[in-house]
Chains A and B, each alone.
Chain A
Amino acid sequence: MIKGLALLAACFLLGMWCGAVLGTWLGIDANVGGVGFAMVFLLLGKEYVTSKGWWNGDFGFGLEFWNKLYIPIVIAMAASLNVKSAVSAGLLAFLAGTLPVLLAFGVVKVLLKQVNPEK
């Protein structure tokens, strides 16, 4: 279990580091795609571990656990968001926060119709 967890931790830290370095290069105070880099490292790490035949059992379980913990974490996140200030931030925040989202759903629909990514 701990081996899989350690692999995940290594990929996470490495990815975050890449994101932070990229942010610094671009001259902004933000992590650019750290999670994305970490995911790519993890996919590569998984390939390697699987090719060695170590995936089933120890490694897999440690990662599967965190994969499953994802939704509970999102629930905890939702409960600790500043919902009240969002509700009371006034009409502008409400409009600027919801109208573009509705439009964006329409854009996703149109975009997916145009390209149909599965073909």
Chain B
Amino acid sequence: MKELEVILDKNGLIVAFLFVGILTLASDVFSKKTLNGRIPGSALAIGLALWLGYLGGVFTDGEQGLADLSYFKGLSTLGGSMFRDFAIVATATGASFVLIRRSGMLGLVSLILGIGLFFGFGVAIGWLMGYRDASSLCTIGAGACTYIVGPVTGGALGASSEVIALSIGTGVVKTIAVTLLTPVLAKWIGLNSPGAAMAYGGIMGTSSGVAAGLAATDPTLVPYGAVTATFYTGLGCLVCPSLFYLILSTLLG
């Protein structure tokens, strides 16, 4: 047994392949046999993975979910931003340039709408919870955009570490909410075409949430959602600590 432990410990990424493969297989079988395909297998697997990530956090008190358990550390490599972005780019082979260009304007409009909406809502909730200074409110609003925009904005504005942690937490909650709600609400909002996916990606913004949500809904739409979502974090980092902060501090006097 000791030999096996050493092998598992040394080959983290390979263990991650095995783990994800088994999880996918189990979810597919459960989805087909028990649920009659009402919930797609991939959505089930993503939901299950989130739950396991929660358990990992409870057992280890770490910050990387299940990947904090030493045997599963390869998950943070496989699911890290390098592989994630690489695979998202690969999905572009299934996308049509013509369709992306045709919906370009819609994508831009949705980006602006999305950042404004999430920032404004985040600030409003921060205000209701008792925060009154412009830099804290701005950081919380930025965190409601994505968990990267939050700390970038907070760092630029000199917000307290407590507020920055809060903004990261808000962004992670958003990612999870988008992941879980997308397959459920996809039909209702009419998320069934490349153009719709681009608008959706621009408004939701969180690349991980958009990517995971679309993967669970219809994998062919992933590249279209990703192409707009990829601009969201950058644009958010641009306007939150500058334009939005100026507007906020003016409003607050």
Contact = CB atoms under 8 A, between A and B. Distances in A.
Interface of A: 8-9, 11-12, 15-16, 19, 22-23, 26, 28-36, 38-40, 42-44, 46-47, 63-64, 66-67, 69-87, 89-109, 111-113, 115, 117-118
A64 B93 contact: yes
Contacts of B231: 32-33, 36
B101 to A, nearest CB: 10
| Max count, chain B CB within 10 A of own CB: residue among A11, A86, A95 | A86
10 contacts: A30-B233, A71-B42, A79-B56, A80-B64, A82-B64, A86-B169, A94-B173, A97-B170, A97-B173, A100-B118
B34 to A, nearest CB: 19
A70 B215 contact: yes
B176 A86 contact: yes
B53 A112 contact: no
Contacts of A67: 87, 90-91, 93-94
Given A28-B152, A74-B46, A101-B178, A81 B65 contact: yes
Interface size band for B: 35 or more
A68 B102 CA distance: 26
Nearest to B76: A80
Contacts, number: 320
A99 B137 CA distance: 17
A35 to B, nearest CB: 4
Given A77-B79, A103-B117, A112-B189, A32 B16 contact: no
Interface of B: 16-17, 19-21, 23-24, 42, 45-47, 49-54, 56-58, 63-67, 72, 75-76, 78-80, 83-95, 97, 100, 102-103, 106, 109-110, 113-114, 117-118, 121-122, 125-126, 129, 140, 143-144, 148, 152, 165-166, 168-179, 181, 185, 188-191, 193-196, 198-200, 203-204, 207-208, 211-212, 215, 219, 222-223, 226-228, 230-231, 233-235, 237-238
